[in-house]
A and B are shown apart, each in its own frame.
Chain A
Amino acid sequence: MNNTKKKQRGRLGETWHQLKKNKFAIVGLVIIVIVLLIAVFAPVLAPYSYDTQDLVNAYAKPSAEHLLGTDKFGRDTFSRLIWGTRKSMEMGLGCVAFGTAAGLIIGSIAGYFGGRVDNIIMRIMDIFSCVPMMLMCVVIAAILGPSTRNAIIAIAVSTTPSAARLIRANILTVRGKEFVEAARAIDGKAPHIILNHVLPNAIAPTIVSTTMNIGNSIISGATLSFIGLGAQPPIAEWGAMLSEGRNLMRDHMELVLYPGICIMITVLAFNMLGDGLRDAMDPRLRN
């Protein structure tokens, strides 16, 4: 109730200040940063290449030479996990980048112009979202052919409707605010108003869902790879590694366990950060 005078901080500063207090979010953030660093420096960090075979040493136990042992082709599991980080993050971030960008543009147009434009766009989005996400991915991947790039396109397309709907709803809220009207009254033109007044205020709430979407996209990417429609052998990707290890699970549990743990920890980290961001950005939970 009482308006305290806080130390002067911008919106971003305030969010960071709030986020810092949430231990889970910080743990998530730290994990994400580490994972990203691993992805970027994979060639430096991995002792072997992802496709270096050593058939004599297949199914090797963990040793100083092969920290986590080797798979059926004698490839170093530890190295493949590191290279896999790169592919998995590429999929997660790629899907979200494309899906969110498309959703942003589509949702902004629908939200700002409203009326018939809005109706047509949103009905098309509805049709898209009627199709189960996995089915959509399978169909797109099947049409375009299985590859990492096509898996990214498939997942991006299937996440677009929800992103578009979210941004549209936010734009509708912001558009009704008086400062948008004020901008019109001082002779602001539509592009200026959308870019300067509407979008900056409508995007913030989508940051949370975007963060969480990265986690989901990593899972989707892994799933597609698992069923053979994503990353193709011999490329190392966590989902693909799971898929390869699946048949050997009885004798060599670790081949499924390691990539599984990697996926789990990374997704968990994104969800923790997303949760924390939501709390930090919601002024009602403050004070």
Chain B
Amino acid sequence: MSAPLIEVRNLKKFFKTGRGMLHAVDDVNFTIEEGKTLGVVGESGCGKSTLGRTILHLLDATDGQILYKGKDITTPTRKELSALRHEMQIIFQDPFSSLNPRKSVSETIMEPMKLSHSMKKQEMIDRTKELMETVGLAERFWGTYPHELDGGRRQRIGIARALALGPRFIVCDEPVSALDVSIQAQILNLMLDLQEQRKLTYMFVTHDLSVVKYISDDILVMYLGQVVEKAPSDELFKNTLHPYSKALLSAIPVPDIHANNELVTLAGEITSPIDPKPGCRFMARCPYASDRCNEPQKIEEILPNHFVSCCKCREINNL
């Protein structure tokens, strides 16, 4: 098997705050094969967005390694970074703040091409038209400004901008969370179509488990900067092993009145990721917590290809 498109080893990203070090991403490992989608799930403050931005070098990693096609890109030179920007892109959550209100639709989509200085004017115009068609934006929106458009169309602009330079890898940071359900489905389908047509590799960051199941091949569940569970999508939903993943899954209100809608609620709220203690970070809210959980947790392959970071995992799940 060839090298995975993206490999992340022991990645850490800390932020200095007034009250200590904030461990936004703490020792995260994963790989994404070309053409696949990795879903990253977690609640606000779990470090999922920081993870995506660190891989794209929008933030500098504190420690660890990022590999792209087997090559270490953790500290790229300026030239390498420019090249990487062509290969890796991002789609943002908020279709309102992710577009410059003073640039028209075509200007926004054309900007990456202008910055790359590799195309003639006519080429850029043709390519922009083509991209607009690809993402389903009618040509009459060419000179329109973002504030005149609805969220779905704005998100399409963001997608076209990300596609402009023909990237291989796209970090999707909650791209549908701000949209209405019917529009959300349109955008999700568009993203799947694009993946098929262009063999794109996605890292799909979201808090919505039903969306992540629908779109991902593999899933990473994060809690306070750490990976608590990692497995292929179907496997994770079939055999949920980590207590946090279980809680997360059962907390979703299901739009089906015959399903068991007794929401299992977790006690307490997310604790602070500032200078965390060495033990399991979920301990304070975990119904199975015991003394052993004060030890640092190691991520283990409990079932084939199914990794869990919980010392009591086997016990809880009768494995």
B-contacting residues, A158-208, CB 8 Å = 177-179, 181-188, 192, 196-197, 200-201
Most buried by B among A6, A10, A178: A178
Measured as residues with beta carbon below 8 angstroms from the partner, the interface class of chain A is 20 to 34
Q: How far is the CA of A177 from the CA of B100 in the complex (A)?
A: 9
Q: How far is the CA of A197 from the CA of B99 in the complex (A)?
A: 10
B305 CB within 8 Å of chain A? no
A-contacting residues, B77-108, CB 8 Å = 81-82, 85-86, 89-90, 92-94, 97-102
Q: How far is the CA of A181 from the CA of B89 in the complex (A)?
A: 11
Task: Given A178-B92, A186-B165, A187-B112, check contact A201 B100 (CB 8 Å).
Answer: yes
Residues of A with C-beta under 8 A to B165: 186
| B97 x A185 contact (CB < 8 A) | no
Residues of A with C-beta under 8 A to B256: none
Nearest residue, chain B, Cβ from A185: B90
| B58 x A192 contact (CB < 8 A) | no
Question: 0/1 per residue, B110-122, Cβ < 8 Å to A?
Answer: 0110011000000
B150 CB within 8 Å of chain A? yes
Question: 0/1 per residue, A1-29, Cβ < 8 Å to B?
Answer: 00101101011000000000000000000
Question: Closest approach, in angstroms, between the C-beta of A242 and any C-beta of chain B?
Answer: 43
A-contacting residues, B36-64, CB 8 Å = 53, 56, 58
B158 CB within 8 Å of chain A? yes
| B112 x A179 contact (CB < 8 A) | no
Q: Looking at the complex, which one of A192, A200, A201 makes contact with B115 (CB distance below 8 Å)? A: A192
| A185 x B89 contact (CB < 8 A) | yes
| A8 x B158 contact (CB < 8 A) | no
Q: How far is the CA of A196 from the CA of B108 in the complex (A)?
A: 11
Task: Given A10-B145, A178-B94, check contact A187 B101 (CB 8 Å).
Answer: no
B168 CB within 8 Å of chain A? no
| A5 x B58 contact (CB < 8 A) | no
B291 CB within 8 Å of chain A? no
| B97 x A187 contact (CB < 8 A) | no
Q: Looking at the complex, which one of B58, B93, B102, B150 makes contact with A185 (CB distance below 8 Å)? A: B58
| B102 x A11 contact (CB < 8 A) | yes
Residues of A with C-beta under 8 A to B102: 11, 200-201
Q: How far is the CA of A3 from the CA of B101 in the complex (A)?
A: 16
B148 CB within 8 Å of chain A? yes
Residues of B with C-beta under 8 A to A192: 115
Nearest residue, chain A, Cβ from B173: A178
Residues of B with C-beta under 8 A to A6: 148
Task: Given A178-B94, A178-B98, A179-B100, check contact A186 B115 (CB 8 Å).
Answer: yes
Task: Given A6-B148, A185-B58, check contact A179 B86 (CB 8 Å).
Answer: no
Task: Given A184-B58, A185-B90, check contact A201 B85 (CB 8 Å).
Answer: no
B203 CB within 8 Å of chain A? no
Q: How far is the CA of A39 from the CA of B110 in the complex (A)?
A: 45
| A181 x B58 contact (CB < 8 A) | yes
Q: How far is the CA of A182 from the CA of B98 in the complex (A)?
A: 7
Residues of A with C-beta under 8 A to B164: 186
The 7 A-B pairs at the shortest CB distance, nearest first, are namely A187-B85, A186-B112, A178-B98, A178-B92, A179-B100, A177-B97, A178-B97
Q: Given A177-B98, A184-B58, A200-B100, 19 other A-B contacts at CB below 8 A?
A: A10-B145, A11-B101, A177-B97, A178-B93, A178-B97, A181-B58, A181-B92, A181-B98, A182-B90, A182-B161, A183-B100, A186-B89, A186-B164, A187-B86, A187-B112, A187-B115, A192-B115, A201-B100, A201-B102
